[in-house]
Chain A
Amino acid sequence: MGRYVIKRVIQAIPIFIGITFIVFMLSNMAPGSPIDIIASSAGLNAEQLQALKEAYGLDKPVLVRYFIWLMGIFQGDLGVSTSTNVPVATIIGQRIGASLTLSCTALVFSIIIGVFLGIMSAYKPYSIWDKVSSVFAFIGSSMPSFFIALVMIYIFAVKLKWLPASGMYGSGAKDLANLVKHLILPAIIVSMQSIGGYIKQTRGAMLESINEDYIKTARSKGISEWAVTIKHALRNALIPIVTQIGLSVPYIVGGSVVTEQIFAWPGIGSLMVNAVNTFDYNMIMGITVLISIVVLIVNIVLDVVYAYLDPRIAAEA
């Protein structure tokens, strides 16, 4: 198992380098870098421009600069935000808690609801559960989350005044109850897109494993139908469900960008939109690197979970 984990970590390194390299190159191609802005506004001549570039290390070849930047990342140095002059790492540090709160809540919520509905609709095909699930699944894949979010704000915050429309604590106390109140709407919106995927995947995997021979064996043992469903069918269906978690994490992270913006949630997503609108490239790169690290860690964790769930995988490695 230990060797298996190490192998997965080593495999993740080239992916990390690939993503960071693409991001770095993209930012380099970007127009409107701070240097350009200074140069054009101050009317610098070629010599002065060269001096400025040397001061910022911009005269070096792009690969060298990438390498320097990468080394900086490993020391926790993501550069300075050009729009606020505060180190990128500091700002991200202030914001990451809010984003993790929202994303993890949404992830857990969508797994619980989606897997539950998926099991129920496989356990009782063509029942009311099955119908509810297919409607849910269809809504998830067909609704633009930003519009639904606005409609929900309109209904629950503006008209009914049940829930707050924006912020993480608003002007209220920084306690759990207040947080939960602010969390409900954004968490529903972020998880909405993923629930459908979990239902489909769980239902399909359950129906497939229910038709396997070992389920017939389990039934012939004289254990209850519920135990057959949970202990035997679901246990095997967990493997594709874990795959679905891997597939839904990018959507949850991407979806929180839109949702954080709408609900003025003080997280990484709204920071990202700000950074893009202010051409703050250090910030954009910093956030992208952070997200890719999170995504890679999630994938490694899932690989380990796979090996735990399916003894055949660890044996192959």
Chain B
Amino acid sequence: MENSILEVKNLKVDFIMDGERVNAVHEVSFKLGKGRTLGIVGESGCGKSVSATSIMRLLPKINTIVDDCTSIKLDDEELTTLSDKEFQKVRGNRISMIFQEPMTSLNPVYTIGKQLIEMVQSHQKISKKDAFETCVEMLEKVGIPEARKRMKEYPHQLSGGMRQRVMIAMALVCNPEVLIADEPTTALDVTIQAQILELMNKLKEDTKTSIILITHDMGVVAEVTDEVMVMYAGEVVEHDDVKEIFHNPMHPYTIGLLDSIPKLNQNTERLLTIDGTVPTLKNMPKVGCRFADRCHYCQDLCRTESPALKKVGTREVRCHFAGNLKAKEDK
């Protein structure tokens, strides 16, 4: 693998809920290669957003504990030991983030220009005029027509797709090494979704920024990512190149996710779904596989022993029976 830009090791995040300490993310480790796109996939509540936001240190401090053994390295520089003040120089500048809700993610009382310029000026010593020009250029890059005019407009004057383009422009205007996109297309219309994904693909080529794309949509993953990390209940369950995963999913959960993509060429009567829901943070099984309750292949061993993350070639998979699944008789 080419040298990595972001290396996360043993990311462990706990929340304090009603005075009780519950685990939200457990031993998540991954490397993000330079210029690559990593998709983190899973249902809502699987810890994918928490992992990403904790890398950005955007979780509320009051009820969040990030474990000490966690290590996050950006270009070989340890981030977890930085003070909040030092980390501010990283946030937005070297790692930036875009969010799910373009309609509410921009401050309604400031112009687009003001919000973009704020981003540039908080990380670069640059005159307002130069910052303005930089931002106009960036807006043009993300495909916003009449960028100069748009700079003076307020968010409510723009459509959802346009706002998400502005968010992308804002995230990229400081040329970050890593962009974290948290469900960037979920709130948008399908046609707009395609445009935004296409834009992200194009920008990746141009800027060489590495991307972490968080999504629940396997279709989106197939379209833009190089590798996939599937998460379930706060744990990584499978991680490999996108082609490998689609070609040969090994974890029962990944298989379930792939089966639930609607396919045009197949004549299935109804979509396959995964029964049940993700266990809530408070009801997380203490022993055994966290996916056991919903698994079609569940055996006795799965109930008594937590599976470790196994290496099978380039594949990482967390299942006792990976590559050797037997369907249960009666399910």
Contact = CB atoms under 8 A, between A and B. Distances in A.
Direct contact between the two chains A and B in their complex (CB within 8 A): yes
Interface in B86-130: 87-93, 96-97, 99, 101, 104-110, 118-119, 122-123
B124 to A, nearest CB: 11
A93 interface: no
A216 interface: yes
Interface in A233-255: 235-236
Interface of A: 212-214, 216-225, 231-232, 235-236, 309-312, 315
Interface in B243-259: none
B56 interface: yes
Contacts, number: 74
Contacts of B321: none
Interface of B: 56, 58, 84-85, 87-93, 96-97, 99, 101, 104-110, 118-119, 122-123, 154, 156-157, 167, 170-171
B104 to A, nearest CB: 4
B88 A216 contact: no
Contact of B167 (A217, A236, A310, A311): A217
A221 B88 CA distance: 8
Contacts of A223: 88, 92, 118, 122
A255 to B, nearest CB: 32
B106 A217 contact: yes
Question: Which 9 pairs across A and B sit closest by C-beta, in order of nearness?
Answer: A222-B92, A222-B91, A213-B104, A221-B92, A214-B107, A311-B154, A220-B97, A213-B105, A222-B88
Contacts of A221: 91-92, 96, 118-119, 122, 170
Nearest to A238: B109
B105 A216 contact: yes
Contacts of B107: 214, 217-218, 232, 235-236
A312 B88 contact: no
A216 B99 contact: yes
Nearest to B114: A231
Given A213-B99, A214-B105, A311-B108, A220 B56 contact: yes
A236 B110 CA distance: 10
A214 B107 CA distance: 5
Contacts of B170: 217, 221
Nearest to B167: A217
Contacts of B97: 220
Contacts of A309: 109
Nearest to A236: B109
Nearest to A232: B107
Contacts of B56: 220
Residue of A213, A309, A315 contacting most chain B CB atoms (<10 Å)? A213
B156 A312 contact: yes
Nearest to A211: B60
A306 to B, nearest CB: 11
A220 B92 contact: yes
Contacts of B108: 214, 236, 310-312
A218 B99 CA distance: 12
Nearest to A219: B58
Residue of A212, A218, A315 contacting most chain B CB atoms (<10 Å)? A218
Contacts of A217: 99, 105-107, 167, 170
Given A214-B108, A222-B88, A222-B91, A312 B154 contact: yes
Contacts of A315: 154, 156-157
Contacts of A214: 104-108
Contacts of A232: 107
Contacts of B104: 212-214
